[in-house]
Amino acid sequence: MLIYATRRILLLVPTFLGITFIGFAIIHLAPGDPVELFLSGGLAAGQSGISTQKLADVEKAAAELRHELGLDQPIAVQYLRWVGRLLRADLGTSLKDRQPVWDKIRPRLPVTITIALISLVIMYAIAIPLGIYSAVRPNSRLDQFLTASIFMQYSLPSFWVGVLLIVFFCGGDYFAWFPPGGLRSLDYTSDWSLGRRLGDISYHLALPIFLTTLGSYTELSRYMRSAMLENARQDFIRTARAKGVPERSVIGKHMLRNSLIAMVTIVAGILPGLIGGSVIIERIFSIPGIGQLGYQAVLARDYPVVLALFAASSFLTLLGILLADLALALVDPRISFGKSNA
Amino acid sequence: MSAERAQAEGAGARVWRGLRRERRAVFGMVVIGALALLALFADLLANDKPYYIELEGESYSPVLIDYEVWLGLRQWPEGLANRRFSELAESAETVLWPPIPYSATVPDISGDVFEPPSRQHWLGTDGLGRDVAAGLVHGIRVSLTIGLVVVAIQASIGVALGGLAGYYGGPADLVLSRLFEVMLGIPTFFLIITVAAVFKPSIYLIMVILGLTGWVGIARLIRAEFLRVRALDYVAAAQSLGASDARIMVRHILPNAIAPVLVSMSFGVASAILTESGLSFLGIGVPAHVVTWGSILAVAQSNTSAWWLAVFPGAAIFVTVTAYNLLGDGLRDALDPRQQGT
């Protein structure tokens, strides 16, 4: 097990390099180099007055900037340099405002991760019972109703619901039950008691978490239902019933435990969706998380920030995959490692 | 060979019979069939060219001429070239219009923007004065095409690679699993917005990115199923009878492993349609002149009083996505050989 875990962790390194290289290549293969876009877009607003100077000066500035950013080097060299800086925990500086990228990400990362983790817990808490209820009497009226209802929630475009929530429940002409966005109240201070601080943040995060969660348990609960039904057809369930194990115990123990194994592996597939979904949700509710930062960075072609976020979210996802696989290896004794793959 | 084919047809017929028993699947198929018909005849339903027009003693069928011009068979007749039929119709002797006499992409001649639903414009007009009903009808084509193309790409890649990894195991599995991890670890939505924002917006670009980034879920499912089924005795029996690897994979393992993929594919169509509308909502999906359900919704975001721009495309997305989910769900039960006769 320990050997398996170590090997899995070591294998993450090439995977991570693969992902970041793809991200790096896409950004550098894009038409126009970042400096051009930067000089024509980001700085055109008059910052440091480049737009007012002569063309020759602009070209000279561009060449200097290219050299400074290492963009005059081949792409492989640039990538290796980027990795080298990454190893020294240096994510580079933003093209937009020359701030270190890490300083921009650090305060935002916990926000997005908090929303994602809370949503993940709620998703499983809803999906597992839903899947069980659906599977206990397949095609019963309850199953039909649950199926129809979760499909309806799943089919709702989150941005659409988000806009409707803002219009109807966040001030405006209707109900002012929730704040229209942001993470904290304007008068928030760290002097507040812990309870009050938590209360304020929950008040602000309620709708974003609701929206992140809404419908996202559909897939999970369908897999849960599939897994339960799959197990229900297995011989050991028939055996359990035949020897007089109470139905409650057949479902709650024999079927449930085996079905949960399938649910563990799916967690890895959900994380990227949660992080990706944060782009839209954080935009709707003006939440200062990495989704919003990423969207702004992409639009401003602020490629050091884009790359850093690319690396950060893929790192988190890989971590999720690793933990899911290790958990699977722990809970499922049938899976033997090291033999077939070594 | 012929016996084999008879067997395959038998399986197809069995699936079809099973599928017809699933009430929700039938509902899904009816809705998708209706949408497909609407998409096929979109030009006859919503068009700013009449079916038939009599002008100065000459009679034309502009809808048909439009097809012929598109095929390069002829040019527009002198008097009709670059003219608006809504103007020509005023001096015409006879004119027969489609039910929705507007183009999806060309603003109505009246130029009324943000006009609420009325007798002229059943579902109102958008910010450029384009008819929303016409936009929705022609948007079916875009949405159905995006869903199908994306999922076709995803399923081909996912089944092929997942099957190979699961069947052969060993080094092949090790390498392919790294590839899956790379794809799984890529922040897909972030990658999509990066590519969509950096490259020239195009509907084909969206399809290719969604297809190339979304297959890993299917690959992992298929791999897991192949791993499970490969260990069953009947596979060993087939191997001992001298069946080739390809035959075992396609004829013996795949039918037992495909069910979760079909669930995944049905969710995939839904998710592709939702992602496209999400990108359009962010303003980086399709080019401005292309009318999709998502791009109509995006206008509603900044013009919340124009409720018809939010409600109707939202409902269209909702109905389509739900139909695909119901079909996929029924298909899963119908394809499952273990559920026959229950």
Over the stretch A63-117, which tens digit does the pLDDT of each residue have? 777 777 677 777 788 888 888 888 887 777 887 777 888 888 888 888 888 898 8
pLDDT digits (tens, 9 = 90+) for B118-127: 888 888 888 7
Contact B187 A26 (CB under 8 A): no
pLDDT band at B162 (very low <50, low <70, confident <90, very high): very high
ipTM over 0.85: no
Mutation target for B interface from A29, A152, A159, A316: give the one with most B CBs within 10 A.
A159
pLDDT digits (tens, 9 = 90+) for B201-247: 888 888 998 999 889 889 988 998 888 888 888 888 888 888 888 88
Return the closest-CA partner of residue A211 out of A178, A172, A186: A178
Please report, for chain A, how many H helices and E strands are present, in that order.
15, 0
Contact B185 A280 (CB under 8 A): no
Contacts of B201 in chain A (CB under 8 A): none
**CB B92 within 8 Å of CB B79:** no
pLDDT band at B337 (very low <50, low <70, confident <90, very high): low
Return the closest-CA partner of residue B66 out of B56, B58, B77: B77
Mean pLDDT over each residue of chain A, to the nearest integer: 79
pLDDT digits (tens, 9 = 90+) for B56-78: 777 888 888 888 888 888 888 87
pLDDT at residue B2 tops 50: no
Q: Is B201 on the interface with A (CB under 8 A)?
A: no
Contacts of B194 in chain A (CB under 8 A): 23, 26-27, 298, 306, 310
pLDDT at residue A328 tops 70: yes
End-to-end CA distance of chain A: 13
Return the closest-CA partner of residue A297 out of A157, A99, A116: A99
DSSP state of A192: S
| pLDDT-above-90 percentage for chain A | 3
Q: Which has more pLDDT, A286 or A64?
A: A286
Contacts of A11 in chain B (CB under 8 A): 178, 181
Q: How far is A173 from chain B (nearest CA, A)?
A: 11
Q: Which helix (H) or strand (E) holds B52?
A: strand B52-55
Residues 6 or more apart whose Cβ sits within 8 Å of residue A133: A142, A143, A146
Rounded Cα distance between B168 and B239, Å, is 13
Mutation target for B interface from A151, A229, A313: give the one with most B CBs within 10 A.
A151
Identify the bridge partners of residue A324 per DSSP, sorted by sequence position: none
Contact A163 B182 (CB under 8 A): no
pLDDT score of A36: 65
**CB B220 within 8 Å of CB B180:** yes
Return the closest-CA partner of residue A307 out of A6, A22, A9, A1: A22
Measure CA B126 to chain center.
24
Could you give the angle at the alpha carbon of B109 between the alpha carbons of B108 and B110, nearest 5°?
90
Measure CA B168 to chain center.
33
Contact A160 B310 (CB under 8 A): yes
Contacts of A154 in chain B (CB under 8 A): 270, 321, 325
**Stretch 100-119 of chain B: residues touching chain A, C-beta under 8 Å:** none
Separation in Å, CA B83 to CA A296, B32, B138 = 43, 36, 22
Two tokens, residue A29 = 């293969």
DSSP state of B302: H
Rounded Cα distance between A50 and A55, Å, is 9
User: Buried b / exposed e across A69-96, counting CB within 10 Å, b at 16+?
Assistant: bebeeeeeebbeebeeebeeeebbbbbb
Cα four-point dihedral sign B84, B85, B89, B91: positive
